[in-house]
Every structure is written in structure tokens, then in C-alpha cells.
Structure 1
Amino acid sequence: MACKTWRNVMGRWLIVAMCSATASLPVYAAKPAPGSYTGTLQGALYRIDVPDHWNGDLIVLMHGYQPVGAPVSTPMTPADATPWLLKKGFAVAQSQYASQGWAVSDAIADTERLRQYFVKTYEQPAHTYLYGFSLGGMEVAASIERYPHTYSGALITCGLTVSTPQILDEGVVTLLVAFDALIPGVIPDLASPESPPMISPDAIASAVAAHPKEAAILAKRLEERVETLPTLALYYMVLREIEKRAGGMPVDNRKEVYKGFGDDAAFNRSVHRYSASAGAATYARNNVTLTGHVEVPVVMQWNAFDQTIPERFHAVYPSQIKAAGRGKWLTVLDPVGEGHCEFTEEQTVTAIETLVQKASAH
């Protein structure tokens, strides 16, 4: 879900064993020469960039949601932040992942495979940091929970750091059924195999313009702006893609009591109700449910207004970390800017430097 506006939101190991009578010691290849290295690891494109004056540290990037079928460049192109990180002396590694869409499992596995590839092909970095944005934020959180002593720290910006079942319920289905209840005729049946894989943002925009009162209620309750409500087209596409992966509807809202949509009694009578497929609900929990159990410094930052990941979700993972008794590892930077993942070079570098400082302190 890394993008600039709602219109482009749909479109932006070698260890060699030396055996002796007493021990087997790993031997690493020579320090990588400056330059870019690209290739494929088990179906996932990757890119490694090494600056002229490498500081010995590696940053592993995890990118955001990429719609299924979106064009992919071969060789893999660098992320927007790569030049900024290279200027600070970091080597940067990033995987395209073996699949697109809600590729959480692939993202975690492919990124860990790439990290191991770097260590075995080149050398063990002095420090390895994990950096993810948007959906990559969830993948970073899941990765540091799964591999607690692998990284020196993690940076999450504009991150979707909410477990999949919760984000699907509160952040996707709630929005879609609310829109359908207040402005009918635009959102297709969310569970029907006959419903299209996506809907046009323009159709939502036209409906919003024709129903200003209802649009204002939706925008206020969903922490959106009237003009950003077409982002719901992204949520619909994500849900349909997850349903395809999971084999059914992952959310059950039959007993949900919705509040904050005007006449709540009338709203709850009219809202469309769905039953979840047990297999799909299990898929959602497995891909993924976060716990907050972190063992390395985590720095997080959001944009002050984010139409894709609204403010009501920003405190979810920080609260989980604190509830798990891991609050000493957490740093949340002040929000900046407006839009989804709208950070300047200076802001990104400051966040990285904060992470390095926190990691050094531990």
C-alpha cells in the first residue's frame, strides 16, 4: 500500500566449512565491491546495492503492497529510499518477493533468504537493520518476532502494523459495508465468487459527490476526508485478493454492532452481514497475527494524515509491544506530513539515525 495518492495507490546464503580436529569455522567471501547486484532467489527477484564507502552495516528493505499483475522491472529497480541510505554508507538489500498482493508469507521467507544470501556470499555485516513501509511494516514486525536475534533493530514507517484479522475486520470490511449501507449500489457482494476483483475509484468518487451528507458521516467515522474515500477501491481489491488466497471470506460480521454511523440502529439493520469461512479465517490469522514480543529496538513513524492507514491503527502495535513488556525497545517518532508514506529524505535519514542510536545504546 505504499503510494503517494489514492490514484496511484493501486499502481506505486557462502559459508564454507573448514573442518579441523577441533572446530568448523565459517569463512566468508571477500567484502563486496561497490555496485549493484541483482538476480533471483527461489522465484523472487532481488537487488543488493553497495556504496563506494560502505560503513559495514546492511539495511534490508521490505516494500509495501503491490497489486497482483502490477508491472515488475527486471532487473529489480531500487526503492525510493535506496539512494539516501547509500549516501549514509549503508549497503541495501531488497527482495521483490515471489508473489504479489498480500504476499506476507513470501515476504518474510524471501527477505530472510536474501539476508542469508548476503552473509554467505559477501560477509557478515557489523549490524543488520530491517526497514519496512506500508504493508512492509507488518512484514517487518512479523520478521523480528520470528527471528528475534537476527537484526540489530527495525524501522517501520507508515506501517500497517495491525494483525491481518483485525485490519480485515476493522480496516477493510467495516469500511466497505459502511459505504454500502449509507451509499448503496457501488460496493459488490464481498463474498460472492461472481463479484469483480476490483472496482473503479471513479465510481466511488461519483457516488460520494452525489451523497455529500452520507459521505461526510463516512469520512468522519473512518478518519478519512471526503476526497480520500475513493481509497476504498484499494481495500476492496485487497479483500478480494485475500479471499482468493484464503479460499473464502475471512471476516464474520454477523454479530458486529457498528457505532458512529449516524442512526446506529437503522445502520445496523441495513448493513450487509457476512459469515466467515473457517479456512479463510485461519489463513488470515496465520498471515499474520502479531504479538508485540520484540527483542531489538523498533522505531516507528507515521504521516500525520494517512488516507490508507488511518490514525486509529497507529497505536495498535506500540500498545502490543508495551503490553508484552517490551516497551523499552520502542520509539515512536512524531508524525510528519500528509499522505501515505510521504517522507522527505531528511525525515527518512533522521529515522534511520534514530534507530542506529537506539541500537548502539543496547
Structure 2
Amino acid sequence: MRTGTRTALAAALLLAVGALPTPAVAATPDPTHVDGRLPSGATYLMDVPADWNGTVLLFSHGYNPGPANPAQNSPGDATKALLLQRGYALIGSSYASAGWAVTDAVPDQLATLSAFTERFGAAARTIAWGQSYGGLVTTAIAERHPERIDGSISLCGLVHGGVANWNNTLDPVFALKTLVAPDTDLPLVNLPDQQSAATAADALTAAVDSAQSTPAGRARIALAAALHNIPGWNQPAQPRPAPTDWDAQQAAQYEALKGLVKFPAFSWRQEAETRAGGNMSWNTGVDYAKLLGRSSVRKEVTELYKKAGLSLKADLTALDRAPRIGADPDAVAWMSGTSSFTGRLAKPQLSVHTIGDALVPVQTESALKRAVTAAGSASRLRQAYTDNAGHCTFSPAEQLAAVDTLEDRLAAGRWIGTDPDSLNRRAEKADPTTPTRYVPYRPAPYPRPYDLAHPADGR
């Protein structure tokens, strides 16, 4: 056959092959997305993949001051995409109200789970999980409605409970008012409205800013931060201070403390007091020298006091002699009954925390462990820690590792691989593109624990 003929024949063959239909590549169907509204007025989100693996993840979102109040069903878009790829159904509600909404959040989350079952059928496995304030909501579900779930995960959660939270929020601002704003008459509790809360926050912030300009003021700010266990590395964008770089640690605490004053100590407190019907925290009978002795940053405080030529003993005496704040018993009863914990876990719970959290310090995990141990549920709890600064700054890999660890516990009937190396291996396998930072860690004691396993404690 001549060359020209062979070339023409080959070209014709290629054209014929190109004209043949191309086998279709199976596209992954989009998840079924559902927006809905509950009778309470709360909205909810559901995302269910076509190849649903039978497990539903009920996500409780963090504290939302409002007025916008959107529903959430995952910690973030990147984690959501990875979980949907793995076949998980993701659901969660907005809660019917913003703020300290536990009395709305728990029933709305359970109603969302019921709505899911009505539409998609019963799940083979249900895991409740949540972050920050949503960790409190999740733990409330785990303790009070264990029949609705198979296990739970708290991420950077307020697992110390409501009374402990508001007591420990009071301590640093009490120290600031006493030591850096002694001539002011600003209220710390019983705030009548948001305007009064904002005015008080602005006045105390101005005093803190002024104090930061002197060595004595910086030492006193460090003392106030120590009473809340605010770490010296608490934002991912901050360079990590050296272990004995007291000045750099204090500078980071100063910024975090101003954030606490601006929102939780006044604005968020006022909203919670309105729900509770009064002031739900106290410092009557509190020994602040003892609290400082338990703090994870006490060494920094003593060094900064020495550097300033200031008497730490004298300032602790001033705190001891300052007029104390008593609580409204009915408000304490409301906060205790709705937002504190017994420690009784009927189902497994994994609680995960960053070690550099200023808003919900890692020591909250000590308070949870104390309650769970007293209630005889220690075998059902595991706690893990990531070496990062900030509140809820987990990577998608670390979040998926937590889900996988609880899934393994539920499948095997016992905890498997809860050590940092195993958690990091799970994280790297789940998402090799984001950090894996689980580390061995033991938090200091929580400064002022309060739980229903120790009903007479906390004063």
C-alpha cells in the first residue's frame, strides 16, 4: 500500500473513532439541601449526600449575640465539604433566640433531629457535636437526652457550665476595677440594659489602656488575666512568645483581656442576667491568692510584679478587702438548672480544646473531668488538645480526626487511639492539606469549678 493511501486510511480511522460516543463519566449527585423552620421559629439546615453513610451529625453553633441568627450545620465550609464527601448527613438549627439561648437551643436541636428523621428516615448513628457555646449545648444534650444520640463531641466548649463561666468572667473585671480603676463606680453585675453595659465596658477599657502604659499597670493586668487563665499566646497571628518572655506574654494577654471586657464581661453578661432574672455570679468567700496559685500563668505575674517593684501581696490584700459581690439565689438556680452539668455521661464524649484559648480557656476541660469523674462516668470521656492559639482554631483535619475517633469508639465499644500520635495520623489521612497539631497536654485546674456533682462547691 502506498504511503498516501495508508495516511488517508489512518486519518479516516481516527475520525471514525472520534465520532464514536464517549462513555459517560458518572457525576456525583449534589447533596440534598433542605432549609426549614421549626414551630419555635428557629430555622434549620440539612445537607444529605446521595450516598449517605447512615450517620447524622447534629451540629450546635457557638454563642451568637444577634440580631442576625442564621442556622449552621457544620464548623465551616471546608470541613462541611469533606464530611459530605465522606457521606455524612449534616444538620443544625439557628436556635429560636440569640444570646445565652440554652433553653431554646436544646429543644430546637432535638426538633431538628426529629424533622430529619421524618424526611430521611432514622439514622443508623447520631452524633451530637458543637463548638464554643455549642459545646455547652452539645453536653447538655448528652447529659439530658442520651437516648437521642450515640455519642458527642465538644470542640473548644464551655464544658465547665454556665455558673462556672460567669463566676470566672467576673473575677478578672473585679480585679481590674479594684486595682486599675479604684475611683470608678462602674457596675460589674445587675446591668439594666445594653447601653449601661456598653458604658461600663468603655470606662473599664479606658482604665486598662491607661494602665498598660506603666510597669505597675501591666503587672496588674497580668494578675487579672491570670484569674481567668488567659494564656500568653492566644492568637494564631501572634508570634509565640518564649517561655520567659513575660513582656510579650503580657502584651498578648492585654489584648485578650480588652476583648473579654468589651463583650463577655458586660454586654453578654447583661443578656444572660436578663434570662436568669438577676445576677448569677458571685465572689463572696473567694480567696484570690489561692486562685492565683492555681493559675497556669502565675510565674509571669510574680515576675512582672518584681520587675515593677510592686507588692503582689499588697494587691492581693486589696482584692481581699474590696467589697464583694453576692449573687441572686434565684438567678443562680436558673443558671445551674439550665446550664451546669452533673457529669453523668450515658454515651461516649470526646472533648477537644486548643491550648491557647483566651475566651474559653483550656482549663475548662479540668472542670469537666472533675464532674465526670465524680459522677462515675470517666470511662466514657476522652479529652484531646491541639497546639494552637485562639478560640476554636481547629483545622478541618483536626475536626475530622475527632469525628473518626468517636466513630471508632462507637464501632468497637471501647476507645481506640486517643493518644496524640493516633489522632494526628487520623487527621493526616482525613485531610493532608491542613495542619495536624494534637499534642500531649494536661491543663491546670479550673479556677472556680461549679457543677451539679459538687452542689456545695464554688464559693
Q: Same fold (TM over 0.5)?
A: yes
Task: Name the CA distance, whole Å, in 2 between partners of 1:297 and 1:168.
Answer: 27
Q: 1:195-233 deviations in whole A, cap 9, x for unaligned?
A: 723335964762452332211222334322233111322
* 1:359 aligned residue: 410
Query: Alpha-carbon deviation of 1:360?
Result: 0.9
Q: Which residue of 2 aligns with 1:206?
A: 209
**Residue in 2 aligned with 1:266?**
318
**Which residue of the partner structure matches residue 394 of structure 2?**
343
Q: Are the aligned partners of 1:131 and 1:155 in contact in 2 as well (CA < 8 Å)?
A: yes
In 1, distance between residues paired with 2:34 and 2:319? Answer: 55
Measure how far apart 1:145 and its partner are: 0.9
Q: Superposition pairs for residues 104-183 of structure 1, below 5 Å? A: 104-169=102-167, 171-183=168-180
Q: Which residue of 2 aligns with 1:7?
A: none
My pick for the range that moved more, 249-258 or 124-133, is 249-258
Partners of 1:38 and 1:48 within 8 A in 2: yes
Q: 1:307 to 1:76 in 2, by over 3 A?
A: closer
Give 3-state SS (helix, strand or coil) of 2:355's partner: coil
Q: Which amino acid aligns with 1:250?
A: M
Change (3 A) 1:219 1:277: closer
- TM-score (structure 1 length as normaliser): 0.83
Paired residues, number: 327
Structure 2 CA distance for aligned equivalents of residues 45 and 238 of structure 1: 23
Which of these residues, 294, 309, 313, is aligned with residue 345 of structure 2? 294
Instruction: State which drifts further: 91-100 or 277-286.
Output: 277-286
Deviations 1:151-177 (A, max 9, x none): 1110111011012112211x2111221
Within 2, Cα distance between the matches of 1:51 and 1:204? 53
Distance 1:197 1:77, change over 3 A: farther
CA RMSD between the two structures:
2.4
SS in 2 for 1:308: coil
- CA shift for structure 1 position 76: 6.2
SS, match of residue 325 in structure 1: coil
Shift of 1:246: 1.6
Q: With CA pairs under 8 Å and 6+ residues apart, which has the higher RCO, 1 or 2?
A: 1
SS at match of 2:108: helix
Q: Which runs of 5+ in 1 are unaligned?
A: 1-31
Distance in 2 between residues matched to 1:84 and 1:256, nearest whole Å: 47
Cα deviation, residue 55, structure 1: 0.9
Contact 2:169 2:228 in 1 (8 A): no
CA contact (8 A) 1:197 1:241 kept: no
Aligned to 1:93: 91
Q: Which letter does structure 1 place at the counterpart of 2:189?
A: L
Deviations 1:316-353 (A, max 9, x none): 11222222111221121233311000000111111110
Of the candidates 259, 263, 268, which is equivalent to residue 234 of structure 1? 263
1:72 is matched with which residue?
Answer: 69
- SS of the aligned residue for 1:241 comes to helix
If each structure's helix is expressed as a fraction of its own residues, which one has the higher value? 2
Calculate the TM-score normalised by the size of structure 2.
0.67
- In structure 2, how many angstroms separate the alpha carbons of the residues matched to 1:108 and 1:82? 22
Q: Deviations over 1:221-274 (max 9, x none)?
A: 43222331113222222211111112211123233332238332222113x422
Are the aligned partners of 1:191 and 1:274 in contact in 2 as well (CA < 8 Å)? no
Distance 1:352 1:192, change over 3 A: closer
Aligned match of 1:12:
none
Does residue 220 in structure 1 map to residue 226 in structure 2? Answer: yes
**Letter of the aligned partner of 1:252 in structure 2?**
W
**Superposed CA offset, 1:106-153 (max 9, x none):** 111100111111112220011010011111111111111111222111
Question: CA 1:290 to 1:78, structure 2 compared with 1: closer, same or farther past 3 Å?
Answer: closer
Does the 8 A contact of 2:54 with 2:125 survive in 1?
Answer: yes
State the shift of 1:301 in Å.
Answer: 0.7
Unaligned runs of 5+ in 2: 1-28, 231-252, 293-300, 302-311, 414-459
Q: Secondary structure at the match of 1:333?
A: strand
Match of 2:98, SS state, is: coil
Q: How far apart, in 1, do the equivalents of 2:211 and 2:49 lie?
A: 48
Answer whether contact 1:294 1:326 (CA < 8 A) is retained: yes
Q: In the alignment, which residue of structure 2 is the partner of 1:55? A: 53
